[in-house]
A and B are shown apart, each in its own frame.
Chain A
Amino acid sequence: SAVISQKPSRDICQRGTSLTIQCQVDSQVTMMFWYRQQPGQSLTLIATANQGSEATYESGFVIDKFPISRPNLTFSTLTVSNMSPEDSSIYLCSVGTGGSGTDTQYFGPGTRLTVL
Chain B
Amino acid sequence: QKEVEQNSGPLSVPEGAIASLNCTYSDRGSQSFFWYRQYSGKSPELIMSIYSNGDKEDGRFTAQLNKASQYVSLLIRDSQPSDSATYLCAVTPPGGYNKLIFGAGTRLAVHP
Say yes or no: B43 contacts A103, CB within 8 Å: no
Say yes or no: A104 contacts B43, CB within 8 Å: no
Q: How large is the interface on B (under 10, 10 to 19, 20 to 34, 35 or more residues)?
A: 20 to 34
- Interface-lining segment among A65-73, A81-89, A105-113: A105-113
Say yes or no: A42 contacts B105, CB within 8 Å: yes
Say yes or no: A103 contacts B32, CB within 8 Å: yes
CA distance A48 to B97 in the complex (A): 9
CA distance A104 to B34 in the complex (A): 8
Indicate whether A31 reaches chain B with its CB closer than 8 angstroms: yes
Say yes or no: A92 contacts B43, CB within 8 Å: yes
Q: Which residues of B contact A106 (CB under 8 A)?
A: 46
Indicate whether A53 reaches chain B with its CB closer than 8 angstroms: no
Q: Which residues of B contact A42 (CB under 8 A)?
A: 88, 102-105
Indicate whether B80 reaches chain A with its CB closer than 8 angstroms: no
Query: For window 26-75 of chain B, which residues contact chain A by CB distance below 8 Å?
Result: 31-32, 34, 36, 42-46, 49, 51
Say yes or no: A48 contacts B34, CB within 8 Å: no
Q: Which residues of A contact B46 (CB under 8 A)?
A: 1, 104-106
Residue on A nearest B89 in the bound complex, by CB: A42
> Looking at the complex, which one of B31, B36, B101, B102 makes contact with A101 (CB distance below 8 Å)?
B31
Q: Which residues of A contact B102 (CB under 8 A)?
A: 42-44
Given contacts A94-B100, A108-B43, A110-B42, 17 further A-B contacts (CB under 8 A): A31-B98, A33-B100, A42-B103, A43-B102, A48-B97, A48-B99, A92-B43, A100-B98, A101-B31, A102-B32, A103-B92, A103-B98, A104-B34, A104-B49, A107-B36, A107-B43, A107-B44
Interface residue ranges, A against B (CB under 8 Å):
1, 31, 33, 41-45, 48, 56, 58, 90, 92, 94, 96, 100-110
